[in-house]
Amino acid sequence: MLSLFELIAGLLTLTAVFAWLNHRLLRLPANIGLLVMGLSASLLLIGIEFLLPKTSLYGALVSTLRQIDFYQAVMHGMLAFLLFAGALHVDLGRLRNRASVVAILATVGVLISMLVMATGLWGAAAILGVPISFTWALVFGALIAPTDPVAVLSTLKSAHVPQMLETDMTGEALFNDGVGVVLFTIMLQFAVGTTADFGPSHVVDLLLLEAGGGALLGLVTGYIAYRAMRAIDDYSIEVLISLSLVAGTYALATELHMSGPIAVVVAGVLIGNRGARDAMSDVTQRYVFGFWTLIDDILNAILFLLIGLEVIVIGFQMSFLWIGIVAVLLMLFARFLAVSVPICILSRWQTFARGTVAVLTWGGIRGGISVALALSLPESAARPNILAATYAVVLFTVIVQGLTLQWVAEATAGGDADSARAG
């Protein structure tokens, strides 16, 4: 068994080697290239094990990867830093102007997507003879419904969309995962039969505590950090303050049973806007934003490589192929409804960029959060199929949708799209 230092050293080395190879040979967008190379390496090892079953290489790698708790690494490690890094660059003025759109997409949109995915998967599973009950289908719907902020923000770096549409995509992605995690927690308790005292009021209280409490906590801790930064002018200390803000806010939110993701996003938006304007010198801004850009790039690279390698832990089987195909088709249909229904209603009061429905539908990238939640599921008859369906959706959205989003944006939202209404 490898030590923690040896695991980190090996992962960093592999990430650096694959990143170099992608830059020199594949020339794909960095994170997509790393996912593709990690997946290819995993499938190659699976093929070697199939052809040469006596080899110990595959078993050694599986054993090593299982030492990495993907759920803990993502949900209680990388996610807080990645969300804060993304939130730093959100324009608060534009986000405020699109607050109603972002709020509806991040709540009503997630609920629509969850219900459509769950109903569709339950029906398809019955036809295919796959053991997935409706309660477990709801669990899958909850973990796959929200778009992944890390994956969406990463994709937007290489896909240029109209400013208004970018604000909608970014805002939805940053806030809907908090709602999705709460729904996942509730649905999982239903699935495992621990909901004796659960009622509608309890669900509402939980949503308010998680989401509202997380937002309030992020506002408080972000303001404290802002005041501390404003009192000094020393970039090294201010970088340290931002680091402690992220780690401390997320840890405190977890202890208080509030949404850590929403808390660090709110804190990040505050520091990235008011903090940058009123509390940082030009030199400090350059160091703080440069530091978090570097953190974002490094952690993204490691995360997407891990997603590619996790196919070994999940265990690839040909029998999962059909459930994966069904899940991808259902995801696209559910995402279309989750986007088009709210936008059709909101378009009476809000202006949308031309092609908003098409770009938001195709830009609904899923990523590490969905995989982490799926891997956290307890053992059950439904778990292997939910893992396979989740992994299929994540791979399709990151690789296929991520690589073609720019083309979709150019085809549907080209020209002076900011002044057009959704159609």
Measured CA to CA, the distance from residue 61 to residue 342 in angstroms comes to 46
**Contact indicator for 264, 250 with CB cutoff of 8 Å:** yes
267 lies in a domain? yes
> Is residue 45 located within the same domain as residue 107?
no
Task: Compute mean pLDDT per 10 residues along the chain, 423 residues long, and list them.
Answer: 84 91 90 89 75 65 80 90 92 90 92 95 90 93 91 80 88 87 87 67 74 92 96 95 97 92 94 94 95 93 88 71 92 96 91 90 92 90 91 93 90 55 40
| CA nearest to 146, candidates 186, 188, 189, 117 | 117
> Is residue 49 located within the same domain as residue 83?
no
**Contact indicator for 75, 261 with CB cutoff of 8 Å:** no
264 lies in a domain? yes
What is this structure's pTM?
0.88
How confident is the model over 148-167, as pLDDT tens digits? 888 888 888 777 788 888 89
**Contact indicator for 165, 353 with CB cutoff of 8 Å:** yes
Last residue of a domain, one of 15, 44, 65: 65
115 lies in a domain? yes
Structure tokens at 284: 């400090």
> Is residue 33 located within the same domain as residue 173?
no
309 lies in a domain? no
Structure tokens at 388: 């396979």
> Is residue 77 located within the same domain as residue 51?
no
> Is residue 52 located within the same domain as residue 83?
no
> Is residue 321 located within the same domain as residue 384?
yes
Measured CA to CA, the distance from residue 262 to residue 247 in angstroms comes to 13
Range of the domain at 237: 70-300+314-419
The pLDDT assigned to 130 comes to 85
> Is residue 33 located within the same domain as residue 74?
no
305 lies in a domain? no
Measured CA to CA, the distance from residue 303 to residue 6 in angstroms comes to 17
Last residue of a domain, one of 47, 65, 83: 65
221 lies in a domain? yes
> Is residue 43 located within the same domain as residue 79?
no
306 lies in a domain? no
CATH code of the domain containing 131: 1.20.1530.20
Query: For the residues of 212-270, what is the DSSP string, one character each?
Result: IHHHHHHHHHHHHHHHHHHT---HHHHHHHHHHHHHHHHHHHHHTT--HHHHHHHHHHH
Cβ neighbours, 10 Å, residue 161:
25
Last residue of a domain, one of 65, 88, 115: 65
175 lies in a domain? yes
Total domains present in the chain? 2
Measured CA to CA, the distance from residue 17 to residue 11 in angstroms comes to 10
> Is residue 20 located within the same domain as residue 96?
no
The pLDDT assigned to 417 comes to 41
> Is residue 60 located within the same domain as residue 81?
no
Give 395's contacts (C-beta < 8 A, 6+ positions apart). Answer: 35, 39
> Is residue 274 located within the same domain as residue 238?
yes
> Is residue 327 located within the same domain as residue 404?
yes
